[in-house]
Amino acid sequence: MVRMKKTKAGKRGGAAKGARGRGSKVRSSRVPAPASVDEYLARVPEPARGALGKMRAAIRSAVPRESIEVISYGIPAFRHDVVLVWYAAFADHCSLFPTAAVIEKFKKELKGFSTSKGTIHFPLDKPLPIALIKKLVKARVQRAS
């Protein structure tokens, strides 16, 4: 039988003291994540708010009627069993997150836009390509089904 050595309260390791790690509840000076999509949108300044509202309407028209809007990873998303797409506003662009597979499928049509593995950036100084956004969202809905 192995006996554990007793330690004084002040000599405990980080885990025993409640070290900050995954799941710890440490207060942050950052603004808390929005509780709703409307709260997220209220925090977005113009002109990004207007562009994001147009993107939201385009997405809504392309997802199943039963889809709901949620906050996921701190940004708005449309969910129907699984999250279909995320969208967000930044200082100089709005982003659509339709998954890497959808971006790969439409890479020729997305040549004029900044993309990364899972994100498409739509600059605020150019009109939103509503038809393309709807096409991307419909492709994502089809893949998720």
pLDDT tens digits, one per residue of 61-114: 999 999 999 999 999 999 999 999 999 999 999 999 999 999 999 999 999 999
* DSSP string over the chain: -PPPPP--GGG--HHHHT-S-TT-----SSPPPPSSHHHHHHHSPTTHHHHHHHHHHHHHHHS-TT-EEEEETTEEEEEESEEEEEEEE-SSEEEEE--HHHHHHTTTTTTTSEE-SS-EEEETTS---HHHHHHHHHHHHHHH-
pTM for the full model? 0.78
Topology given in CATH for the domain delimited by 33-144:
Aspartate Aminotransferase, domain 1 (3.90.1150)
pLDDT tens digits, one per residue of 36-55: 999 999 999 999 999 999 99
Q: Which pLDDT band holds residue 25 (cuts at 50, 70, 90)? A: low
**Domain range summary for the chain, segments of one domain joined by +:** 33-144
Q: Which pLDDT band holds residue 29 (cuts at 50, 70, 90)? A: low
Q: Which pLDDT band holds residue 30 (cuts at 50, 70, 90)? A: confident
